[in-house]
Amino acid sequence: MDGLAIDRQREACEKIAGNRGWKVDEDSYYVDQSKSATDKTKKRPAYDRMVADFKADRFDAIICWDLDRLTRQPRQLEDWIDAAEDRGLQLVTANGEADLATDGGRMYARIKAAVARGEVDRKSARQSAAQNQRARQGRAPKGVRPLGYATNGDVIPNEAKAVREIFRLFAIQNGPSIAALAAGLSGKTGDHIPKSLPHLPKHTRTLMMERNERRQIEGLDPRPVPDDGPWGSSTVLGILRNPRYAGYSVYTDKKNRINKNKRRTWFSQVLRDDSGQPVMGQWDAIVEGYTWHVVQERLDDQSRVTNRTGSTARKHLGSSLYLCGICDEPVRAHTRGYRCAGHLIRSRSQVDGFVLRIARERLSRLDLLDAVPLADEPRLRDIQLRILEHQGRIKRAQHDYDAEIIEGMDLKRIRARENAAIADLEVERLRLVGGSDLKVILGAEDPLVAFDGADVAIKRRIIDYFFTVSLFPHPRGRKAFDPSTVKVEPKRRSSTGTIGPLTQRAP
């Protein structure tokens, strides 16, 4: 309420006091301006002071503008009704309808409080029905905007770029960990931190600044904004899990959200139409559907997630990748070198430096994307949808079992049948996306920057994709590196993924 309304209400109440011959103390005005009487969790300081004053026996009558200014919570109202009956508290409203001294007045007050309560419940039911309808129409959900999207669903380019890069990096086999992605967004540097991520302020901070801009337009004072801090892993995880980035319309019934398995919760957020097909949002997807699904699988697969910490990842570029030129067996890491027992031992820094130079040279060539077979994307999307459909059937069967509509035997049979179908689709998908994690690197805006920023595992994949590297013994006594002792040969590929003859072969 604005100040004028408060003044009007005060005058009306004072008039009643005057009519009844009641004396009003200076400090007996209880004004909670613009505070809801509905929300239990909202503090109403003046109301609390009034309760305390009543307990201290400092007044014996309450005049309020309207009952819903006093309280909209039936339980609080009952306390006042009890007080009216037990201690003779008089309560009148300025409109004269609720006088707790009379039976009729009490009944009126109770009905009014119950109606107010019901209105609140209906409002929240209406809101979730509206949310659900919005989602069914594929409209952007209301509420806090995710990184990359404006509230109306428009793509915010610089944020979308970061989102795309987060997905791209995480979709790569043995790519950076979630913590490394968070560190990259925070502008940190280090061996395992990808360099290709933009440094962004924390999303919560951006949201607070935007809220302050809106407040300024409304003529309100800005709220304090905390200093920028590092991105948290849970925020990055939330981004990787969000189906909206792949264009899926999402809806979560808050009541069903609690105590559910995380994985299920995320998949169940994808809204489906009556035939079980995912509803697509009207906004632009920031990542490809299959990239999103690859990321979900990586997140679900705990062993792969653990692998990302690097414990089992190869530390060196060429271990088990470079071949011994004499016996064609992979070389092993050995102190500061690569070794094939009895045949050779080479300096790691010299060989790696040479191989990396050739790899960078290859990546700087324009025919890069042609070198990687393009997956059949419409078919991939179709496979993803069909996998989701089969997963939906398993889920439905699980629900039916929980609801005792089907027997355990049926559930088992349905599960086996659907899982077999899913497995077939997975095989087809893997065949199609064979080079996809490679493609996400090679498709980067600047592949050289992406390559330099990539960790060892990714560099190994790139080198392995393009080249066969063979090492030969280095002539004894010669200190300078002899390039002819490292053979870097382009791999020959089938017609689907030809790479042309390389001109910059190692001598």
- Of 166-174, 264-272, 318-326, 392-400, which part binds Zn ion (CB under 5 A)? 318-326
Cβ of residue 248: shortest distance to Zn ion, in angstroms?
52
x/- mask, Zn ion, residues 273-312, rule CB under 5 A, reads ----------------------------------------
Pick between residue 316 and residue 362 the one whose CB is nearest to Zn ion: 316
Beta-carbon contacts of 191 under 8 Å, excluding residues fewer than 6 positions away, are 455
Place of tokens 């398993």: 394
Distance, CA of 202 to CA of 476 (rounded, Å):
55
Q: What are the tokens at 229?
A: 């801090």
Cβ of residue 491: shortest distance to Zn ion, in angstroms?
20
Pick between residue 328 and residue 376 the one whose CB is nearest to Zn ion: 328
Pick between residue 107 and residue 327 the one whose CB is nearest to Zn ion: 327
Crossing angle of helices 289-300 and 233-241, in 10° steps, is 130
Distance, CA of 411 to CA of 398 (rounded, Å):
7
Pick between residue 50 and residue 340 the one whose CB is nearest to Zn ion: 340
Cβ of residue 344: shortest distance to Zn ion, in angstroms?
7
Map the footprint of Zn ion across residues 117-146, applying CB under 5 A. none
Torsion of CA 65, 69, 70, 72, to 10 degrees: 140
Q: What are the tokens at 214?
A: 């809106």
Map the footprint of Zn ion across residues 208-267, applying CB under 5 A. none
* Residue 471 sits in the site that holds Zn ion (CB under 5 A): no
The answer to whether 267 touches 389, Cβ cutoff 8 Å, is no
Place of tokens 């049979």: 413
Closest CA to 297 of 272, 271, 276, 267: 267
- Of 9-17, 325-333, 408-416, 435-443, which part binds Zn ion (CB under 5 A)? 325-333
Count helices and strands (H / E) in the chain.
18, 8
x/- mask, Zn ion, residues 333-352, rule CB under 5 A, reads -------x--x---------
Pick between residue 327 and residue 423 the one whose CB is nearest to Zn ion: 327
- Of 35-43, 50-58, 102-110, 317-325, which part binds Zn ion (CB under 5 A)? 317-325
CA-based angle 130:131:137, to the nearest 5? Answer: 90
* Residue 326 sits in the site that holds Zn ion (CB under 5 A): yes
- Of 118-126, 136-144, 228-236, 326-334, which part binds Zn ion (CB under 5 A)? 326-334
Cβ of residue 345: shortest distance to Zn ion, in angstroms?
11
Pick between residue 111 and residue 327 the one whose CB is nearest to Zn ion: 327
**Can you tell me whether residue 338 is helix, strand or coil?**
strand
Pick between residue 272 and residue 343 the one whose CB is nearest to Zn ion: 343
* Residue 327 sits in the site that holds Zn ion (CB under 5 A): yes
Closest CA to 246 of 365, 323, 149, 390: 149
x/- mask, Zn ion, residues 141-180, rule CB under 5 A, reads ----------------------------------------
Chain centre distance of CA 316:
33
Cβ of residue 324: shortest distance to Zn ion, in angstroms?
3
Beta bridge partners of 344: 340
Pick between residue 67 and residue 340 the one whose CB is nearest to Zn ion: 340
Cβ of residue 343: shortest distance to Zn ion, in angstroms?
3
Cβ of residue 327: shortest distance to Zn ion, in angstroms?
3
Pick between residue 331 and residue 368 the one whose CB is nearest to Zn ion: 331
Widest distance between CA atoms in the chain? 115
x/- mask, Zn ion, residues 400-419, rule CB under 5 A, reads --------------------
User: Using H for helix, E for strand and C for coil, what is the string for 219-239?
Assistant: CCCCCCCCCCCCCCHHHHHHH
Pick between residue 149 and residue 338 the one whose CB is nearest to Zn ion: 338
Residue type, 330: P
Distance, CA of 465 to CA of 55 (rounded, Å):
80
Pick between residue 31 and residue 326 the one whose CB is nearest to Zn ion: 326
Number of residues that bind Zn ion (CB under 5 A): 5
CA-based angle 17:23:28, to the nearest 5? Answer: 90
Beta bridge partners of 330: 323
Binding site for Zn ion (CB under 5 A): 324, 326-327, 340, 343
